[in-house]
Structure 1
Amino acid sequence: MAVRKSLLFLGLLALVHPAFPAGKPNIVLISLESVRADRVGFLGAKSKITPNLDALAAQGIVFQHAYTQAPTTVVSEATILTGTYPQSHKMTEFADRLSASVPFMPEILRARGYHTAAFVGTIELDPRAGDAPGFERGFERYDAGFTRPTRGKTSHQTVRRNGAEVAARAASWLSVTQSPFFVWVQLSDADISTAGSYNSGLTAADSAVGKLVASLRAKKMFDDTIIAVVGDHGQSLGAHGEDAHGVFLYEETVCVPLVLKLPSSYPGRAALSTLVKAKASLVSVASSLFEAAGIPVPSQMQGQSLLRLAKGTALDQPVYSRSDFSQQAFGMSLLESWRANKYLYIRAPQPELYDLTVDPDASHNLATSAKATLDTMAGQLASFSQHFDGSSTKAGLTSAEMQKLASLGYVGLQKTSSTATTVAGIDPKDQVRLVNKVLEAKALNEDGKPERASGILQHVIGETGKMYLAQYTMGESFFELQQYAKAIEYLHKAIELQPNSTWAHYEMGASLIKTGDYKTAVVHLEIAASRLEQFPEAHNLLAEAYEHSGKTEEAKRERKKFSVPR
């Protein structure tokens, strides 16, 4: 109740005003991975590489200052689809399961008679590949189909689908689906950290949007369909020293495109502003789509009404964002940001304050010279954040699992929270260079270049042994190089740093099987398989470990879960 009272106090919980006169309007949600606001034409980009997005924006409501609540894909998409803040939905980038208690758009719409489908362009959002578990909830069709390395057979994996293929699959589904429908289309073409290639990726994503719009027009459904287009987060492209995204909370990574196209028959549509300058949050997308469709908004949703912003009946509200990834992946402090009026405040070990009206690039920190403003902003953020304390702890490992790991020689294990609230320790500004190197190595592993990756990681780990993702990625590299004892060494350290990491336990189990240590592999694979319910390979490996440990009945049980052939 504390969370809800706080959000009501801040004016963030929308009243419901069913508006659609009759029937159930179709709803299309298009999310664009890594697309920053200043790179699209309708928000002022000089390079005219987004003609389809620009055309769609010309027929809808453009939110000029829209912000994601997290600069990573899984967390941001969870915020969009649940209408709740990260502290409430508790999703991370580490295969946490979406809780059944959290409201989820497709599930609610399916219960109201909608046909539902998802078409995603990245493995990060594929529950069958072990990521974003729970995202399949409520979808009649969840079209992903990516593959991870099958540890014991092949290292083949697919991590991306281009926008053209994703759009074609979605268009095919639309061609045979009756109204009403809800379709979520996620395009990952722009998830590139180099400037030249980034523009090419953005062009590809724009083309895919054009294909989706054309398919709706071909079915004569465009006019009467609600369409939301949103960037899940941006891309630094070197700004503030960050190559990609995931850590910092400056404009480049959290200011994103947001367009809402309403049906032509929507009452009062002509009176709505087509350009909203007030700040908007992605946590408001789900509740606003429900409101536009005349569907009651679940009380658990925490966003304000985007439609009321367009009507001019809602005040400009502060915007909250956070990065847990800096803490979970790199052992640094988490970051939180608060945008209110013209200021950006970043809660960090070295606090930051910027006047974005005169310093849009956030290059002149006013934390010392404008102490009174800093204290005011910090107080507002603290007032907002404190209401989530105590409700943000994820279950993590069980006591029995912790005891088993301790008996295997793991030291310093803690039942860490997935959404901790501590700002302390290393400021990400001081180690962003190392973050870039780790993410570069991770990409090299995905490209089948583990030897180059391990060379980069050796230097990183030589500087600091406290980065979970560096240790984990090094373990992956040595597995691919078939140096399993070394893989185990680094994965052991990764688990000590992040004992809740499902993927570290999975990789450790696979490595132990390679060395013939099946009994120890069982401990890790039981942890992984219990959390990767939709990922067949985790259960396949656990069955193998059971079998070689003399647990034949347990092995049969695991194999039956997915009818995995022996």
Structure 2
Amino acid sequence: MSEKKKSLSILRRAMAGAACIVACMAAVPAPALAAPKETAAPAPQQTRHRNIIFVLVDDLRYDGMGFLQPGLLKTPNIDRMAKEGSYFPNAVVTSSLCSPSRATILTGQTARNHGIVDNNDSSEAGLTYFPSYLQQAGYNTAFFGKWHMGSEADGPRPGFDKWVSFKGQGNYWPAKAESAHSSPNLNVDGKAVPQQGYITDELTDYAMNWLQKERDPNKPFFLYLSHKGVHSDPLPPPRYAHQYDKAKFTLPDSAADTPQNNEGKPVWVRNQRNSWHGIDFFYNADVPMTEYLKYYYGTLSAIDDSLGRIMDYLRKNKLDKDTLVVFTSDNGYMVGEHGLIDKRNAYQASVRVPLVVWEPGTVPAGAVNEGRIRNLDFAPTFLDVAGAARPKQFEGKSAWALWEGKQAVTDWKPGDFIYEYYWEYNFPMTPGTFAIERDNVKYIQYYGVWDTDELYDLNRDPDEMHNLVDDPAWAAKKQELRVALYQQLADRNGRHNIPYGARLSIGAVRRDVDGQHAADFPSNWYVKPNPTDRLDPILPDSPAKLKAQAAGKPLVYTPPLKEELTRQVEGAGKP
């Protein structure tokens, strides 16, 4: 059976008996059936080439900026950027994990198509990074910082005229020895050069030197500054080591282990509380999150300094009105929401990221733009800004008209937000996760685990506290989103594949010996033997099934197994 016929068959079975089957199928775009070639559409007309600076932070929360937490956080340069530019509160990533997200930014493709699905050294073969197209459009390009996408190797990648990077996660301070995943050296244009000091400052020094002395002043430039900070374990420089000593950080309400918070949550979520990525035992240590955040935000202060140096250079050299600056993060970061920390899952604090866009005289100043931007949209936007042709393999859409303020938010049609995370053995506590958000309603399902799915009305429940997945009033919407999610998760060839790599260790399976033990299944999953609706949970949800449940009757009556076996045995051979 072809992939297209298989998909349609699944759709029909999923909506069997439902009057809404045709409407649901019409509402979902059909999966792509042919792989796009890496050719480009005609370039739009462009009157001038503007410079572009892309600043990427690692693991910064969506609200981790001073202007969003006044009186607590100190980020004067980010705050000034937001005051002089536009802030996008609904920015999200399609995969909340370092390598897949960075690959999406660079290729303009989702993880199911670019193939970088975890942090375990996936192949970069066959991928084209958008700076290559900027080079073709006449841009001088440079990369400084954390690559951490695909190969652990730190060598120069295609698309960049200048290159400064490091192995893997890199080090805040110079490493003492070479290892498989770490080095005391930086890779500077293919040569090993010893790291001298604090990584945020050193990367900024390299970037500033390129801006001031190395780039071609006769060409527009693209600068990609990819910070190591604020990734764990965050280490602020000495000047900020005690900046937040007296700060009083608080945890989200959902961090508390209460029946109210746990109601409706999957078993894996409750189990993860006592794990490497759980608030009770995070990173298998005993540092409270309220203390950890002092180091996290102290590390951010050095990044804020870095941004300030770049912006001062632009202003002093009268480049500010000809340079687009974009500040964001590769993924979100949870600090206790639902008892979890870090990222990977599809909850809001994991998928949402900060996004500030700045270009005086072009990007509206002091604006809060509600348009939803995905990391998938950066590549097409930057090529649009440069007047470069759009490659056909790009899956996102250009947000340049929205950023300029020429397109109203109501006219920005981002479509459904599709999320994908593929299970990795290193951190086995988070299952494979797929989600869809449509009209501010989010549906989440998990792959390969015995657990519940989730449905949230973000209009009324932005903190995702009330799982509506078993609410009869939301049954039609749930099934609509299930169907849409499946179709839109098809890759460019219309396939639904679950990628996986070699398992090389047991992973971070440890739990606090004095902490919470395994969580229980939902109470309504426990039944007595021989229910008359034994088959109903297996059958696709439908209005007929919902009607039967409301009446307290089975959709398909099933007698006790012993009776059925006896009847069939005794009736064997009889006409």
TM-score (norm: length of structure 1): 0.61
User: Could you report, residue by residue, the CA deviation over 1:270-291 in whole angstroms, capped at 9, with x for unpaired residues?
Assistant: 6x99332132211001101111
The answer for the alignment partner of 2:356 in structure 1 is: 259
The answer for the alignment partner of 1:138 in structure 2 is: 159
| In structure 1, C-alpha distance between the alignment counterparts of 2:185 and 2:147, rounded to whole Å | 7
Structure 1 unaligned segments of length 5 or more: list them: 9-13, 394-415, 421-433, 439-455, 465-566
| In structure 2, C-alpha distance between the alignment counterparts of 1:81 and 1:299, rounded to whole Å | 15
Cα shift at 1:184:
0.4
Secondary structure of 1:38's counterpart equals: coil
Matched, 1:373 2:466: no
* Contact 1:88–1:392, Cα closer than 8 Å, also in 2: no
Cα distance change on mapping 1:257 and 1:165 into 2, 3 Å: same
The answer for the alignment partner of 1:78 in structure 2 is: 103
Secondary structure of 2:342's counterpart equals: coil
Choose 1 or 2 for highest CA Rg.
2
The size of the alignment, in residue pairs, is: 392
Structure 2 unaligned segments of length 5 or more: list them: 5-27, 34-39, 187-194, 234-291, 519-575
Secondary structure of 1:284's counterpart equals: helix
| In structure 2, C-alpha distance between the alignment counterparts of 1:16 and 1:164, rounded to whole Å | 40
* Contact 2:77–2:308, Cα closer than 8 Å, also in 1: yes
| In structure 2, C-alpha distance between the alignment counterparts of 1:294 and 1:225, rounded to whole Å | 14
| In structure 1, C-alpha distance between the alignment counterparts of 2:66 and 2:88, rounded to whole Å | 13
Cα shift at 1:220:
2.5
* Contact 2:96–2:350, Cα closer than 8 Å, also in 1: yes
Instruction: Determine which of 185, 196, 214 is the counterpart of 2:312.
Output: 214
Instruction: Determine which of 188, 191, 199 is the counterpart of 2:228.
Output: 188
User: Could you report, residue by residue, the CA deviation over 1:305-325 in whole angstroms, capped at 9, with x for unpaired residues?
Assistant: 213444123225221222214
Matched, 1:359 2:399: no
* Contact 1:38–1:44, Cα closer than 8 Å, also in 2: yes
* Contact 1:107–1:139, Cα closer than 8 Å, also in 2: yes
The answer for the alignment partner of 1:174 in structure 2 is: 211
Matched, 1:31 2:56: yes
Residue 70 of structure 1 aligns with an amino acid whose one-letter code is S
Q: How does 1:112-131 map to 2 (within 5 A)?
A: 112-120=137-145, 122=146, 124=148, 129-130=152-153
Secondary structure of 2:44's counterpart equals: coil
Secondary structure of 2:443's counterpart equals: strand
Secondary structure of 1:67's counterpart equals: coil
The 10-residue stretch of structure 1 (369-378 or 307-316) with the greater mean CA deviation from structure 2? 307-316
| In structure 1, C-alpha distance between the alignment counterparts of 2:496 and 2:312, rounded to whole Å | 42
The structure richer in helix per residue is 1
User: Could you report, residue by residue, the CA deviation over 1:41-61 in whole angstroms, capped at 9, with x for unpaired residues?
Assistant: 445666342221121122333
Residue 172 of structure 1 aligns with an amino acid whose one-letter code is N
* Contact 2:91–2:354, Cα closer than 8 Å, also in 1: yes
Matched, 1:229 2:266: no
Residue 141 of structure 2 aligns with an amino acid whose one-letter code is T
| In structure 2, C-alpha distance between the alignment counterparts of 1:189 and 1:391, rounded to whole Å | 37
Cα shift at 1:233:
0.6
Residue 231 of structure 2 aligns with an amino acid whose one-letter code is D
The answer for the alignment partner of 2:396 in structure 1 is: 303
Matched, 1:288 2:381: yes
Cα distance change on mapping 1:16 and 1:364 into 2, 3 Å: farther
* Contact 1:103–1:298, Cα closer than 8 Å, also in 2: no
Matched, 1:164 2:164: no
Cα shift at 1:6:
4.7
RMSD of aligned C-alpha atoms? 3.9
| In structure 2, C-alpha distance between the alignment counterparts of 1:203 and 1:366, rounded to whole Å | 40
Residue 285 of structure 1 aligns with an amino acid whose one-letter code is F
- State percent identity of aligned pairs: 24
Secondary structure of 2:396's counterpart equals: coil
Instruction: Determine which of 337, 346, 349 is the counterpart of 1:239.
Output: 337
Secondary structure of 2:391's counterpart equals: coil
User: Could you report, residue by residue, the CA deviation over 1:287-340 in whole angstroms, capped at 9, with x for unpaired residues?
Assistant: 011112222211211112213444123225221222214467528631012122
Secondary structure of 1:21's counterpart equals: coil
Matched, 1:334 2:432: yes
| In structure 2, C-alpha distance between the alignment counterparts of 1:256 and 1:113, rounded to whole Å | 31
By relative contact order (CA 8 Å, sep 6+), the higher-ranking structure is 2
Cα distance change on mapping 1:207 and 1:130 into 2, 3 Å: same
| In structure 2, C-alpha distance between the alignment counterparts of 1:7 and 1:390, rounded to whole Å | 5
TM-score (norm: length of structure 2): 0.60
| In structure 1, C-alpha distance between the alignment counterparts of 2:401 and 2:137, rounded to whole Å | 24
The answer for the alignment partner of 1:417 in structure 2 is: 499
